[in-house]
A and B are shown apart, each in its own frame.
Chain A
Amino acid sequence: MKLLKLVPENTNLDFMRYRNVALVISLIVTVLAIGFTAVQGLNFGVDFVGGQMIRTTFARPIDVEQLRGRVEGLHLGEANIQEFGGPTTYQIRLPRPGGGANAANLAAERVKSMLAADYPGSRIDSVDTVSGKVSEELAQNGAIAIALAMLGIAIYIWFRFEWQFGVGALLTLGHDVAMTLGFFSFTRLPVDLNVVAAILTIIGYSLNDTVVIYDRIRENLRKYRKMAILPLLNLSLNETLARTVVTSLTVLIALGILMAIGPEVVFGLAIAIFLGVFIGTYSSIYISAPVLVWLGINPSSFVKNEEPDPTAKAEPQRV
């Protein structure tokens, strides 16, 4: 049987040749993403700003404008009504009401009784109401989780490798998180707790890629003491390219299927990770590797404390 070879043997792509171009593009896009997020803001879901979200399935297709009118007739603030999944399923979102802790709860109840009265046969699929205080805590915990995950990972890499690698990993992660947030800001997709899970996954995935490449760089630094840093990075990236492509593809296959036929409720989660796979793969090549050049890593700085590796060969086999 002829086996599938997505990446030809012995590739010798000069990744690092474009590192400055990539850097400029990355910088511009990152700044744009951060700027866009800062100006446009994120479309936070009820998890993070409070309020209520009701998903309902009607017995037959309905007139959205009429529904909007009826919801607004309850005077609960500006309603956001979206189709969700199918033509009879809608998501009604209402802002966090003023008043006591029970206000959100009461508002949701009024919407539900309106639906029951005006749309016989309609079904309430889910109700989420989150008070202001809880949503603030959820947002805070989400941010802490992301920040700590980045920091914890960077520290681990610093211990396992060298400080330059830790810094490189941290910059890579910053890049990935900024991109993802920019994407969510641009598309106005709602940011809820699922998206925090997605961002943490992207961090983990991107790191996975970065660590595999770093591991190979470290190995090659020990093996080829006399090789210049740029060819060495190129060599390492080429050696790990097949793995990068195959792994990314399997994850994309799995996520694509989840997006296509999985439950609607996880669509936001799946699309964020799907996107993150691309961003993470790019950044592990064009951010985490070049950073090592700028931080001045070279074989002597890395292996000075170690005994010479007996298996190391004097000359590279291919460059």
Chain B
Amino acid sequence: MLDFPKWKVWTIFLVIAVGIVLAVPSLFPKSQVETWPSWAPKEQISLGLDLAGGSHLLLEADAVDAAKQRVAAMEDEVSTELRRDPRIEIGDVSTANSRLSFMVRDPTQLDAAVERIRTLTRPVALTGARDWDVAVVDQTRIVLTPTATGSANALKQAMTVARDVVRRRIDPSGTKEVTVINEGDNRILVQVPGVENPEALKKLIGQTARLEFKLVDLQANPQEVAAGHAPAGSQVLPMASGGGAIAVKRRVIVSGDQVTDARQSFDQDGRPVVTLKFNTAGAKRFARVTQENTGKPFAIILDDKVLSAPNINEPILGGSAQISGNFTVQSANDLAISLASGKLPVKLNVVEERSVGPDLGKDSIHKGAIASIVAVLAVIVFMLLTYGRFGVYATAALIVNAFLILGIMAMFNATLTLPGIAGFILTIGAAVDANVLINERIREELRRGRRVLDAIETGYHEARRAIFDANLTHVIAAMLMVYFGSGPVRGFAVVLLIGVVTSFFTAVFFTRMLVALWARRSRPRELHI
């Protein structure tokens, strides 16, 4: 028992010192920590959104929209490919049921059409499977059906792009502490601390921002348009302001893909507008089409809704354009951010939202901190009353344990949540268990008539097995919670897991060292415990 080598003492003190040093930054406000000298540790425990206030959004790809967009993109590719020389005329195009189906007008060209369309499909797996199945039905009709692996692959790529787009929209400057990560196959998790207004955030993220410029179809019959019918080559789109619908040509003049920059600004009359800049190809096309159609209206379309349909007063040659359409400064700014960040490759729906106001968060952390301190003090008093000198050791272990938990959490940059505080308090309560086991065992051995040092030695030795088994079951439970749990369960389990490990260290090694150092010095003949 008394044989406690120097190297062990030093190792234990070193571990504790490192723990305390790591824990210290978390006890000070962030602004203050940032002014510390460069050699000082600055890693802090990050506060969960329930404590700091903020928004947690889980976005899910709209499966229907994803399938629709994919077919629409394929339709584009097919018509572009078949229009090239030698041209193959097609008709009766349908994209219903996420399949692309069309008729080849000249049956003798069918094989050539199939051949050329096959080149548009891409291999997706090592087995040679492709992303679309091309089949001929009824002798004249070609049907393209997306394969499962192809769709999955496309979704995966879309989600990666969507994640980056969402990130650029929330945080154009890249300075806020936002989390934007892919979750599973079709979800994106967004966490933004300290958000006052989650609605604005959701609007900003939710906008697909598919921007298109198309010519207005002036030949269309207004009554037909009102009934939703458009001439061949045109489509009917609703006005964004809610007032009626308008027929536009299907051909896109320029799309948002060719936008290089978008900003909110004001027009001559002081109304908020969005100013766009196009890349070279876009600028060229825009110039040519506006030259050919001066005097006619064109439509500015955002997510299949017409924002406005102004007349082309003069050719737009400089490669920049202005979008107007009943904007406020805020909505113009949001649109500018959405356009500059690129369009979302797939529509995203909010499937889970948790927002906490900053005031509630502050209140929670305040109450949580006070409850933690009071709980620790109460447990300390209880320990001192119950075990006297050994209660002092248990108390020292408790305090060191608290620092170690904070230090380890800061080291891994773990997030402290409200259930985490509950986990912390529980760990404090349970951490004394190891010392209780040891101390009760020592009492027992003394009652059996062993001498003091012998009783202490046996107490530590015999209790260790029980402590180990009991804690390991806790570790198993906590690890499963970390792995399978979500949100609060995980926040709770992380603290519990760290707490179990540190309490094992403090109870078994640290208090034992304190006891050994004391016993070596004073050689006690009797022990009050």
For the complex, is B143 an interface residue (Cβ under 8 Å from A)?
no
For the complex, is A314 an interface residue (Cβ under 8 Å from B)?
no
**Complex: A10 Cα to B447 Cα, angstroms:** 9
Beta-carbon contacts under 8 Å, B369-398 to A: 370-371, 374-375, 378-379, 382-383, 385-388
Interface of B is mostly: helix
For the complex, is A1 an interface residue (Cβ under 8 Å from B)?
yes
Find the residue from A100, A112, A254 having the highest chain B CB count within 10 A. A254
Number of interface residues of A (CB under 8 A): 81
Write the nearest CB–CB distance from B381 to chain A, whole angstroms.
9
Question: What residues of A have a CB within 8 angstroms of the CB of B426 in the complex?
Answer: 201, 251, 254-255, 273
The size class of the interface chain B forms with chain A is: 35 or more
Stretch in contact with the other chain, from A34-42, A190-198, A293-301: A190-198
Are A127's CB and B493's CB within 8 A? Answer: no
**Complex: A141 Cα to B483 Cα, angstroms:** 10
Write the nearest CB–CB distance from A128 to chain B, whole angstroms.
5
**Complex: A253 Cα to B419 Cα, angstroms:** 18
Are B481's CB and A270's CB within 8 A? Answer: no
Are A1's CB and B436's CB within 8 A? Answer: no
For the complex, is B421 an interface residue (Cβ under 8 Å from A)?
yes
Question: What residues of A have a CB within 8 angstroms of the CB of B370 in the complex?
Answer: 261
The residue that B364 contacts in the complex, of A207, A215, A243, A263, with Cβ under 8 A, is A263
Are B353's CB and A247's CB within 8 A? Answer: no
For the complex, is A94 an interface residue (Cβ under 8 Å from B)?
no
Are B350's CB and A247's CB within 8 A? Answer: no
Contact pattern, B 299-319, Cβ under 8 Å of A = 1, otherwise 0: 000000000000000000000
Stretch in contact with the other chain, from A75-83, A129-137, A180-188: A129-137
Are B429's CB and A193's CB within 8 A? Answer: no
**Complex: A131 Cα to B59 Cα, angstroms:** 11
For the complex, is A87 an interface residue (Cβ under 8 Å from B)?
no
The residue that A249 contacts in the complex, of B198, B382, B444, B483, with Cβ under 8 A, is B382
Give the number of residue pairs across the A-B interface with Cβ within 8 Å.
249
Are A266's CB and B422's CB within 8 A? Answer: yes
For the complex, is A305 an interface residue (Cβ under 8 Å from B)?
no
**Complex: A149 Cα to B421 Cα, angstroms:** 22
For the complex, is B92 an interface residue (Cβ under 8 Å from A)?
no
For the complex, is B367 an interface residue (Cβ under 8 Å from A)?
yes
Residues of chain A whose beta carbon lies under 8 Å from any beta carbon of chain B: 1, 3-6, 9-10, 55, 57, 100-102, 105, 108-109, 112, 123-131, 133-134, 138, 141-142, 144-145, 148-149, 152-153, 156-157, 160, 192-194, 196-197, 200-201, 203-205, 207-208, 211-212, 214-216, 219, 239-240, 242-243, 246-247, 249-255, 257-258, 261-263, 265-266, 269-270, 273, 317
Question: What are 28 of the A-B contact pairs (CB < 8 Å)?
Answer: A4-B385, A100-B349, A105-B350, A112-B199, A123-B359, A134-B352, A145-B489, A152-B477, A153-B477, A157-B473, A194-B492, A197-B419, A197-B481, A197-B489, A201-B423, A204-B478, A239-B444, A252-B429, A253-B382, A254-B379, A254-B425, A255-B429, A257-B371, A261-B370, A262-B368, A263-B363, A266-B419, A269-B492
Nearest 5 A-B pairs (CB), nearest first? A251-B429, A101-B349, A254-B429, A262-B371, A145-B484
